[in-house]
C-alpha cells in the first residue's frame, strides 16, 4: 500500500498507472497500478518502462502527469501540485523529444521568407516513394530577394532559381524533381529541379507560371499525389492550381504581366502560363495561410486576417465551414491524429481549433508563450502530437498538445516544450518586436530537424541528435 | 535624692533656738511663719549652691512616696516640728539680723515687737486659745485649747523628716555606707555620687550623633548630625533655625514713603447731583424685585426643613446607589441587567501556558501588525518557567494613567478608522482586460527613415503603412514583417509633412505633401493588383481631362488668378508612380480626405493670407477652392464630417463647424486649449477629439455644447496627434514624451448616454530625440493595431 508521504521517508511510494497513446511503445499487457518510489525521476521511470517493454535499445521516454511533463522527482511534483501520494497517478509516457540543438546556419542575401525540406522522410519524399531513393537531403529556401535556393547539408547552394520579379513569399517542394514558389509578384511558379550533390551543379529551372491572384501570394500548400497546389493570397482568395501543365486552364489575360505596359519582359523565352483551377472566395480579408487536410486531400483549410478559419471542399470549391476566432490568423497547420487545426494568431499564441462540425467550441486549446505574431507552423513528422511554430518574436517553439493545463477555469492552455532561439541573436539583448530576428518560415523534418528562416537572412537548422 | 533634700533641709534647720516667752512667741507667731518662709528661701539658695535644682513640690511628693508606710506619724512629727519652729521664731530673728546686717533688717527688728503687740492686742481670737493655770509647783501652766484648723495650721507642705539620726553632722556617718536610719530603723543608703555616674556613663562608648531615639520609619536608631542637632536645639529655644534667616526684615514701603504720598482731593469739581439723588435704575430694579416677590416669582429664603434635607440626601444617595449591591438571582427580564461577570482566566492568561496556547512566530507577527483596536485579545500568551520569573506588568503605568484619564472624563482623540474601500471611491470603469482587443506590445519596428518620421497612414485595406519623413522620402511598409515595400524620394530638402491614402479600397492613391506640393502617387512594386493600379491611374488622370474641357469656360468666366496649379510631375517621378502634382502657394501641413475620395482639404497654417490657409480641392476636377474669405485665428487643421456635409476647422484655440451646403457656421467649440495640434472625428461624427500642445486631450461631445465633455491629461509633454479607430471603440494619441496612450472610447448611439472613456495602455518604445517623441499615430482600419511615427526615425506597429 502507498504510505503517507513523509519527508525523509525513503519508503514513500505512490501508485502509478502507465499508459501511452503511441501504439508502438504500448506495454505488452496492462500492468495495472504499479507501486513506485516517489523518489523516482524521469530517467528512472524511463528505465522502468523500457524494462517493462523489454526493448533491446532503451527508448528515452517522457512522462506526462496531469498534462504536465515530469521534470522533477515524483515527490516534488506531488508537492508542487498538491496531489496526495495516496491517489493513483495516471502517468502517460511518450517518446522523449531530444532537445533540438543548433546545427548550422545558411546565410542569404536577404530575408528568408520560407523554407522547406526535401528528404526521404519528408512529405515530398514519401509521396515520391520508391522513385526517390536518394538519401540526400535538400533544403529549399525562398528569399525576399526573389530567389529560390536549394541547399545541401554542407551549407552550399546547389541550385538557385531566378524568375520571380518580386520577393518570394512561399516555396514548397512538390516532389524530388518539382518545386513550387510564390511571392509578391502575384504568381506561382513551378520549377523543375535536377539534383546534384556538388555545389551549383544542380539546376532549378522554371517550367510553369500560374496567374490568377491579384495580390501577393503569401503561402502555398502542395499535395503531390493529386498534383494540387493551394495558394493563400492577399486578395482575399484561395487559389487551387494544378501542378500539371495539361490540367491548368489558360491564364487570365488581364493579370498577365504583358497587360502592364510599363513592365518590360526581359526574358525572351516565354514560359507556359496557366490559370487557376478554381479561386475560392469567401474571406473578408487577406488569406494568410492554407493547408490540406492530413487525411483527405480534397479538404483544405485556410486562415485569414479576418479572424476566420474556413474549411473548403476542393472538389466543389465550396466553403464548408467557417470558424471565427478573436484574432487575425497568420498561419495554419493540420494535426490529423488529433483532428485539430493549429492556427498562429496575431495575439501571440496558437489556437487549436477543432474543425469538425460536431465541435462545440471554437478554441479547443491555446498554446501560449510567444511574444509576437505566430506566422509559421509545422507538424512533427515523428509524432502527431507535437508541432513547431515560428514567430516574429525570433523564436521557434516546440509544443506538445498532450501537455495541457486548465487555466482560468475552462480554458485549456499549453506551454511550449522547447524554445529554439535564433543563433544570430545569441548574446545580443532581446530586440523589441523581434526586430532583426523574426522567423518567417519553419519546417520540421525527421532527418534534417527543425529548419527555420527569418529576418536575420539565415536558414537555421536545429536537430535533436539521437543519444 | 529626696532623702538627701529633706536631710539638707534638716541640716539647715540645725540651729534650734531656745524656747522663749510665750507671749513673744505668740506675738511672733505670724511673723515666724514669714521668717520660716524666708528661711525656706534661704534653703533654696543653699540648695542651688549644692547644685540640686529640683522643685520643692517634687521633693515633697518624693518624700510622701518614701514615707508611705506611716504617714500619720510623720504628720504628727510635722506638727511637732512646726510647733517647735513656732517657738523658736523669736530666737531666729537674731541670726537673721546678724546675717543681713542691713538697716531694713534692723528696722524690722526694731519695729516688729511693737507691731506684734498691737496685733496681739487687736486679735481677741488668739487670746482665748489657751488658758493660764497654776500647776502644782505654782508655776504658770499653759493649757491649750482646741486648735482651730485654719489654713495656716496645715503643715503638710513642710519637709518630711526621714532621717532619724537627729541633729548631728552627717560627717559622723562618713565611714558607713549609709547616712542614717529612717523612721522604721532601716538604713538610709548613701546616694550615688555624681562622679560615679559620670564615670559609668563615660564607660559606655556612644556613637557619634547618638540620640537614644528610634526612627519609627526604619526601626533603626536615629542618628542626627551636628547640624540637625543644632537646628533642633534652635527650634526648642524658639530661635531662628538658619543662619541667613532674618526674622525682622526691613519694611518695604509699597504704598507709603517718598513719592507715594496721596494728593488729596482728587478733583476740585463739586459733587455731582447724582451722588445725592436716589438712583432711578436701582429703584426700578428694586421695584422689579418687589413685584416679583409680591407675585411669588421670587421666594424669600426659607430655612431647609427636615424634609428638604432628607430629599437632598436621597438624591445624593441615588447618585451613588450601587445597582448590584445586593445581587440576587432573578428571572431573566429586560429590566434586570445582571452584573457583568468577567470570565475566569483561561490557559492563555497563565504564566506558563501549555505549548498549544503559545503563539508561533507567524501569529505573533500577525498580532503585532494588527491595530490595537482590532486585536481579539490585548496580550500575547508568554511562557515563563516559574512564577518568580514573570516580569513586572509593563503596561501598569499606562493603564493606571488611562484609568485616571477615564476618571477625569478626559477627552481623548480616538483614531477613527476609515472602513472605506478606496476602490469604491473610484468611478466604476470596466476592467481593461474586458475591453480587449487593444494594442499592448510593439510587434514590428520599421526602420529606414533617416531623421524624423513625420507622418504615416494605414492604407484602406490594412495591408500597408505609408510614412513620410524629414528625409523627403515616402515609404510603404508591410506592417506585419516590417519590410519596406516601396520607397520614393520626393524632395532632397523638404520634409514630407503629410501622407494620406485616398479612401476606398478599389483604388490605391497616396497623397503626400512635401513643401508646397501635394503629390499623388500610385505605389508600384507589385503591391497592388493590376486592376487597382489601372483604376488609380484613371482616377488621377481624369482631372486633367476635366480641366482641359473646362479650361475655356474658366478663362472666359473669371480670370482670377488660381492659387494652385495641378500638373504632371517630371517623367522620372511619373515612372516611379507619381502621377499628379498640386502646387499651392504655401506649405500645407495637413491633408484630409472626404470619405468619397474626391474632395480633400489642405491647411497651410504658415501662410500670410488667412483666406488661403484652408483650401478644399476636387481631385476629379483639379479644382481648388478657398471657402473662407477671412478666418478668425490661425488655422491648424481641418476635416470633413463622415456622413454630413459638415466641415470642421480647428484654429489655434477654437474648433468651428461649418455647414458646407448652407455656407454658415454651425457650431463653435471651445476646447480651452492654447494651441490645438490635431483633431480626430469619431466615425459616427458626433464626438470630436482635440489634441493640444499643452498636454491635454479633449473629448468634445458635439451634442453637449461648446465645452469639452472630458479632459484627459495624462501626458507629460505636448500631444502631437490623436486618432479614433475606424471600427473599434478605441483611440490613441502620440506625445512628445515618446509614449502613445491607448484609450477605450465607446460612443453609444443614443444621445442619452455619455461616452465611456477608459485609459487602457501606455505604449512605450519610441526614443525622444530633440524633445520630440511620437509625431503621428494611425490605426489599422479593422484590427486593433496602431502605428506610430517616431522622431527616432522608426515606424512602430503596436498589436
Find, in chain B, the residue whose alpha carbon is nearest to that of A328. B783
Q: For residue B154, what pLDDT is reported?
A: 67
Q: Do B463 and A326 touch (CB under 8 A)?
A: no
Helix orientation angle between B2-12 and B22-49, rounded to the nearest 10 degrees: 130
Nearest alpha-carbon partner for A228 in A282, A277, A264, A171: A277
Mean pLDDT of A138-161: 87
The pLDDT tens digits of the residues spanning A150-162 come to 888 888 888 888 8
Q: Does B380 touch chain A (CB under 8 A)?
A: no
The pLDDT tens digits of the residues spanning A91-109 come to 888 877 778 888 888 888 8
Neighbours of A383 (CB within 10 A): 18
Best of A373, A432, A436, A457 to substitute, by most chain B Cβ atoms within 10 angstroms, is: A432
The pLDDT tens digits of the residues spanning B448-473 come to 888 889 999 998 888 889 999 888 89
ipTM, interface predicted TM-score of the complex = 0.85
Q: For residue A133, what pLDDT is reported?
A: 66
CB-based contact B191:B3 (threshold 8 Å): yes
Distance from the Cα of B432 to chain A's closest Cα (Å) equals 16
| C-alpha triplet B507, B512, B517: angle, nearest 5° | 125
Q: For residue A407, what pLDDT is reported?
A: 66
A 48-87 → B contacts, CB under 8 A: none
Q: Do A346 and B443 touch (CB under 8 A)?
A: yes
Spell out the SS3 assignment of B749-787.
CCCCCCCEEEEEEEEECCCCECCECEEEEEECCCCCCEE
Pairing status of strand A405-407 against strand A237-242: unpaired
Find, in chain A, the residue whose alpha carbon is nearest to that of B575. A262
Of the candidate ranges A171-180, A278-287, B332-341, B709-718, the one whose mean pLDDT is the lowest: B332-341
Segments of chain B with pLDDT less than 50 = 1-74, 87, 89-126, 552-559
Q: Do B483 and A144 touch (CB under 8 A)?
A: yes
Rounded CA separation B51/B193 (Å): 12
Rounded CA separation B414/B753 (Å): 45
CB-based contact A27:A100 (threshold 8 Å): no
The pLDDT tens digits of the residues spanning A380-399 come to 888 788 889 999 888 899 88
Distance from the Cα of B529 to chain A's closest Cα (Å) equals 5
Closest CB from B442, B575, B783 relative to A432: B442
CB-based contact A84:A11 (threshold 8 Å): no
Q: For residue B28, what pLDDT is reported?
A: 43
Please state the pTM of the whole predicted model. 0.64
Q: For residue B85, what pLDDT is reported?
A: 54
Q: For residue B42, what pLDDT is reported?
A: 41
CB-based contact A36:A2 (threshold 8 Å): no
DSSP state of B654: -
Q: Does A216 touch chain B (CB under 8 A)?
A: yes
Of the candidate ranges A287-291, A413-417, B110-114, the one whose mean pLDDT is the lowest: B110-114
Rounded CA separation B459/B444 (Å): 17
Q: For residue B34, what pLDDT is reported?
A: 41
Taking CB atoms within 8 Å and a gap of at least 24, the contacts of A41-49 are: A41/A70, A41/A72, A41/A73, A41/A74, A42/A70, A42/A71, A45/A70, A45/A91, A45/A93, A46/A93, A46/A96, A49/A18, A49/A93
Closest CB from A184, A372, A432 relative to B765: A432
Q: Which helix (H) or strand (E) element contains residue B438?
A: none
Mean pLDDT of A246-262: 68
Distance from the Cα of A435 to chain B's closest Cα (Å) equals 6
Distance from the Cα of B522 to chain A's closest Cα (Å) equals 13
Q: Does B585 touch chain A (CB under 8 A)?
A: no
Q: For residue B160, what pLDDT is reported?
A: 67
Q: Does A234 touch chain B (CB under 8 A)?
A: yes
Taking CB atoms within 8 Å and a gap of at least 24, the contacts of A344-349 are: A344/A373, A344/A374, A344/A375, A344/A376, A344/A377, A344/A389, A344/A391, A345/A373, A345/A374, A346/A373, A346/B443, A346/B783, A346/B785, A346/B799, A347/B437, A347/B799, A348/A372, A348/A373, A348/A374, A348/A391, A348/A393, A348/B441, A349/A374
DSSP state of B566: E
CA dihedral B33, B36, B40, B41 (to 10 degrees): 80
Rounded CA separation B82/B299 (Å): 81
Which position has the grid cell 449591591? B325
Rounded CA separation B597/B588 (Å): 18
Peptide bond into B239 cis (omega under 30): no
Here the cell at position B322 is 450601587
Query: Torsions phi, psi of A168, nearest 5?
Result: -85, 130
In Å, how far are A63, A429, A461, B773, B792 from B721, measured between CA atoms? 55, 31, 45, 11, 16
Q: For residue B403, what pLDDT is reported?
A: 92
Q: B480 contacts in A (CB within 8 Å)?
A: 330, 373, 375, 392
The pLDDT tens digits of the residues spanning A56-80 come to 777 888 888 877 777 778 888 888 7
Q: For residue B287, what pLDDT is reported?
A: 94
Nearest alpha-carbon partner for B28 in B117, B97, B96: B117
The pLDDT tens digits of the residues spanning B376-407 come to 888 889 999 999 999 988 889 999 999 999 99
Distance from the Cα of B501 to chain A's closest Cα (Å) equals 18
Q: Does B437 touch chain A (CB under 8 A)?
A: yes
Closest CB from A186, A255, A328 relative to B783: A328
Q: For residue B561, what pLDDT is reported?
A: 55
Pairing status of strand A13-19 against strand A88-95: parallel
Q: Does A27 touch chain B (CB under 8 A)?
A: no
Percent residues over pLDDT 90 in chain A: 7
Q: For residue B265, what pLDDT is reported?
A: 63
Q: For residue A86, what pLDDT is reported?
A: 79
Amino acid at each position: 500500500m502507498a504510505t503517507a508521504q513523509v519527508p525523509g521517508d525513503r519508503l514513500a511510494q505512490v501508485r502509478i498507472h502507465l499508459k501511452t497513446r503511441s501504439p508502438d511503445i504500448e506495454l505488452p499487457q496492462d500492468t495495472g497500478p504499479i507501486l513506485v518510489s516517489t523518489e523516482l525521476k524521469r530517467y528512472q521511470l524511463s528505465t522502468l518502462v523500457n524494462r517493462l517493454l523489454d526493448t533491446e535499445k532503451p527508448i528515452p521516454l517522457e512522462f506526462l502527469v496531469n498534462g504536465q511533463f515530469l521534470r522533477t522527482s515524483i515527490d516534488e511534483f506531488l508537492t508542487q501540485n498538491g496531489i496526495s501520494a495516496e491517489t493513483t497517478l495516471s502517468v502517460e509516457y511518450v517518446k522523449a523529444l531530444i532537445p533540438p540543438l543548433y546545427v548550422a546556419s545558411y546565410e542569404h542575401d536577404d530575408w528568408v521568407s520560407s523554407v522547406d525540406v526535401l528528404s526521404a522522410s519528408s512529405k515530398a519524399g514519401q509521396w515520391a516513394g520508391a522513385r526517390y531513393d536518394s538519401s540526400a537531403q535538400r533544403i529549399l529556401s525562398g528569399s525576399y530577394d526573389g530567389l529560390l535556393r536549394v541547399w545541401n547539408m554542407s551549407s552550399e547552394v546547389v541550385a538557385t532559381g531566378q524568375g520571380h520579379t518580386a520577393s518570394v513569399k512561399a516555396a514548397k517542394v512538390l516532389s524530388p524533381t518539382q518545386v513550387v514558389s510564390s511571392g509578391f509578384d502575384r504568381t506561382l511558379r513551378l520549377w523543375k529541379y535536377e539534383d546534384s550533390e556538388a555545389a551549383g551543379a544542380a539546376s532549378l529551372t522554371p517550367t510553369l507560371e500560374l496567374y490568377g491572384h491579384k495580390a501577393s501570394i503569401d503561402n502555398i500548400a502542395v499535395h503531390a499525389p493529386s498534383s494540387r497546389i493551394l495558394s493563400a493570397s492577399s486578395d482575399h482568395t484561395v487559389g487551387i492550381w494544378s501542378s500539371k501543365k495539361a490540367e491548368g486552364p489558360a491564364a487570365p489575360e488581364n493579370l498577365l504581366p504583358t497587360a502592364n505596359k510599363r513592365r518590360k519582359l526581359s526574358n525572351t523565352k516565354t514560359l507556359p502560363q496557366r490559370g487557376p483551377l478554381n479561386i475560392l472566395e469567401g474571406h473578408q480579408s487577406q488569406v494568410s495561410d492554407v493547408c490540406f487536410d492530413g487525411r483527405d486531400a480534397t479538404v483544405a483549410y485556410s486562415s485569414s486576417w479576418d479572424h476566420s478559419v474556413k474549411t473548403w471542399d476542393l472538389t466543389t470549391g465550396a466553403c464548408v465551414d467557417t470558424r471565427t476566432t478573436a484574432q487575425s490568423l497568420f498561419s495554419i497547420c493540420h494535426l490529423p491524429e488529433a483532428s485539430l487545426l493549429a492556427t498562429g494568431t496575431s495575439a501571440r499564441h496558437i489556437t487549436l481549433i477543432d474543425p469538425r462540425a460536431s465541435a462545440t467550441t471554437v478554441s479547443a486549446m491555446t498554446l501560449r508563450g510567444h511574444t509576437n505574431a505566430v506566422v509559421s507552423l509545422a507538424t512533427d513528422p515523428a509524432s502527431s502530437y507535437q508541432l513547431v511554430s515560428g514567430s516574429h518574436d525570433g523564436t521557434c517553439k516546440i509544443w506538445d498538445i498532450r501537455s495541457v493545463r486548465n487555466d482560468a477555469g475552462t480554458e485549456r492552455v499549453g506551454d511550449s516544450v522547447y524554445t529554439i532561439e535564433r543563433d544570430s541573436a545569441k548574446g545580443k539583448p532581446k530586440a523589441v518586436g523581434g526586430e532583426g530576428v523574426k522567423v518567417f518560415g519553419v519546417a520540421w523534418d525527421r532527418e534534417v530537424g527543425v529548419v527555420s528562416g527569418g529576418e536575420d537572412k539565415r536558414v537555421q537548422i536545429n536537430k535533436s541528435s539521437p543519444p | 535624692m529626696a532623702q538627701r533634700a529633706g536631710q539638707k533641709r534638716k541640716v539647715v534647720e540645725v540651729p534650734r533656738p531656745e524656747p522663749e516667752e510665750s507671749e513673744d512667741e505668740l506675738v511672733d507667731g505670724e511673723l515666724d511663719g514669714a521668717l520660716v518662709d524666708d528661711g525656706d528661701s534661704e534653703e533654696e539658695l543653699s540648695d542651688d549652691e549644692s547644685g540640686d535644682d529640683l522643685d520643692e513640690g517634687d521633693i515633697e511628693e518624693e518624700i510622701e512616696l518614701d514615707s508611705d508606710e506611716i504617714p500619720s506619724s510623720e504628720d504628727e512629727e510635722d506638727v511637732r516640728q512646726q510647733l517647735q519652729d513656732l517657738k523658736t521664731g523669736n530666737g531666729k530673728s537674731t541670726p537673721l539680723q546678724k546675717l543681713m546686717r542691713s538697716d531694713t533688717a534692723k528696722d524690722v527688728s526694731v519695729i516688729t515687737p511693737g507691731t506684734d503687740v498691737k496685733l496681739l492686742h487687736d486679735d481677741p481670737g488668739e487670746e482665748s486659745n489657751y488658758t493660764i493655770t497654776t500647776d502644782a509647783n505654782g508655776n504658770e501652766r499653759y493649757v491649750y485649747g482646741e486648735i482651730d484648723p485654719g489654713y495656716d495650721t496645715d503643715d503638710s507642705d513642710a519637709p518630711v523628716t526621714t532621717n532619724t539620726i537627729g541633729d548631728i553632722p552627717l560627717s559622723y556617718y562618713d565611714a558607713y555606707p549609709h547616712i542614717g536610719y529612717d523612721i522604721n530603723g532601716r538604713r538610709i543608703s548613701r546616694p550615688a555620687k555624681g562622679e560615679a555616674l559620670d564615670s559609668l556613663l563615660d564607660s559606655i562608648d556612644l556613637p557619634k550623633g547618638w540620640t537614644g531615639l528610634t526612627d519609627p520609619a526604619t526601626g533603626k536608631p536615629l542618628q542626627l548630625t551636628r547640624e540637625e542637632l543644632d537646628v533642633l536645639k534652635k527650634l526648642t529655644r524658639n530661635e531662628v533655625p538658619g543662619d541667613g534667616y532674618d526674622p525682622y526684615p526691613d519694611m518695604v514701603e509699597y504704598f507709603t514713603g517718598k513719592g507715594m504720598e496721596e494728593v488729596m482731593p482728587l478733583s476740585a469739581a463739586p459733587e455731582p447731583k447724582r451722588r445725592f439723588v436716589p438712583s432711578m435704575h436701582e429703584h426700578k430694579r428694586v421695584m422689579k424685585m418687589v413685584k416679583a416677590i409680591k407675585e411669588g416669582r421670587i421666594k424669600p429664603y426659607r430655612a431647609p426643613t427636615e424634609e428638604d434635607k432628607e430629599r437632598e440626601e436621597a438624591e445624593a444617595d441615588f447618585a451613588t446607589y450601587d445597582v448590584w449591591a445586593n445581587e440576587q438571582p432573578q428571572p431573566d427580564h429586560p429590566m434586570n441587567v445582571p452584573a457583568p461577570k468577567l470570565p475566569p482566566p483561561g490557559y492563555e492568561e497563565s504564566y506558563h501556558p501549555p505549548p498549544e496556547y503559545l503563539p508561533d512566530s507567524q501569529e505573533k507577527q500577525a498580532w503585532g501588525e494588527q491595530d490595537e483596536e482590532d486585536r481579539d485579545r490585548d496580550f500575547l500568551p508568554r511562557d515563563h518557567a516559574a512564577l518568580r520569573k514573570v516580569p513586572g506588568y509593563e503596561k501598569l503605568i499606562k493603564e493606571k494613567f488611562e484609568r485616571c484619564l477615564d476618571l477625569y472624563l478626559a477627552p481623548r482623540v480616538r483614531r477613527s478608522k476609515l472602513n472605506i474601500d478606496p476602490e469604491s471611491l473610484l468611478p466604476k470603469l470596466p476592467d481593461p482586460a474586458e475591453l480587449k482587443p487593444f494594442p499592448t506590445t510593439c510587434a514590428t519596428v520599421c526602420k529606414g527613415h533617416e531623421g524624423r518620421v513625420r507622418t504615416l497612414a494605414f492604407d484602406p485595406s490594412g495591408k500597408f503603412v505609408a510614412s513620410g519623413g524629414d528625409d523627403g522620402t515616402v515609404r510603404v511598409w508591410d506592417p506585419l514583417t516590417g519590410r519596406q515595400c516601396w520607397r520614393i524620394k520626393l524632395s532632397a530638402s523638404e520634409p514630407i509633412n503629410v501622407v494620406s491614402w485616398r479612401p476606398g479600397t478599389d483604388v490605391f492613391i497616396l497623397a503626400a505633401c512635401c513643401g508646397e506640393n501635394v503629390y499623388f502617387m500610385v505605389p508600384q512594386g507589385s503591391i497592388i493588383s493590376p486592376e487597382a493600379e489601372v483604376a488609380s491611374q484613371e482616377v488621377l488622370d481624369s482631372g486633367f481631362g476635366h480641366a482641359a474641357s473646362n479650361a475655356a469656360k474658366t478663362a472666359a468666366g473669371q480670370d482670377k488668378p488660381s492659387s494652385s496649379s495641378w500638373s504632371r510631375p517630371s517623367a522620372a517621378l511619373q515612372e516611379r508612380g507619381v502621377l499628379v502634382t498640386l502646387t499651392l502657394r504655401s506649405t500645407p501641413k495637413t491633408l484630409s480626405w472626404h470619405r468619397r475620395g474626391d474632395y480633400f482639404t489642405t491647411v497651410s497654417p504658415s501662410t500670410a493670407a488667412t483666406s488661403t490657409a484652408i483650401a478644399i480641392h476636387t481631385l476629379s476636377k483639379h479644382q481648388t477652392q478657398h471657402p473662407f474669405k477671412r478666418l478668425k485665428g490661425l488655422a491648424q487643421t481641418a476635416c470633413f464630417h463622415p456622413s454630413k456635409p459638415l466641415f470642421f476647422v480647428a484654429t489655434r484655440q477654437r474648433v468651428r463647424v461649418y455647414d458646407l451646403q448652407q455656407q454658415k457656421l454651425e457650431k463653435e467649440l471651445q476646447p480651452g486649449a492654447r494651441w490645438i495640434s490635431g483633431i480626430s472625428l469619431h466615425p459616427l461624427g458626433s464626438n470630436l477629439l482635440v489634441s493640444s500642445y499643452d498636454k491635454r486631450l479633449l473629448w468634445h461631445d458635439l451634442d453637449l455644447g461648446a465645452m469639452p465633455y472630458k479632459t484627459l491629461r495624462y501626458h507629460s509633454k505636448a500631444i502631437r496627434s490623436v486618432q479614433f479607430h475606424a471600427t473599434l471603440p478605441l483611440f490613441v494619441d502620440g506625445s512628445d514624451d515618446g509614449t502613445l496612450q491607448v484609450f477605450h472610447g465607446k460612443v453609444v448611439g443614443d444621445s442619452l448616454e455619455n461616452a465611456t472613456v477608459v485609459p487602457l495602455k501606455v505604449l512605450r518604445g519610441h526614443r525622444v530625440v530633440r524633445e520630440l517623441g511620437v509625431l503621428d499615430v494611425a490605426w489599422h482600419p479593422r484590427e486593433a493595431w496602431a502605428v506610430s511615427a517616431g522622431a527616432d526615425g522608426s515606424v512602430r506597429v503596436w498589436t
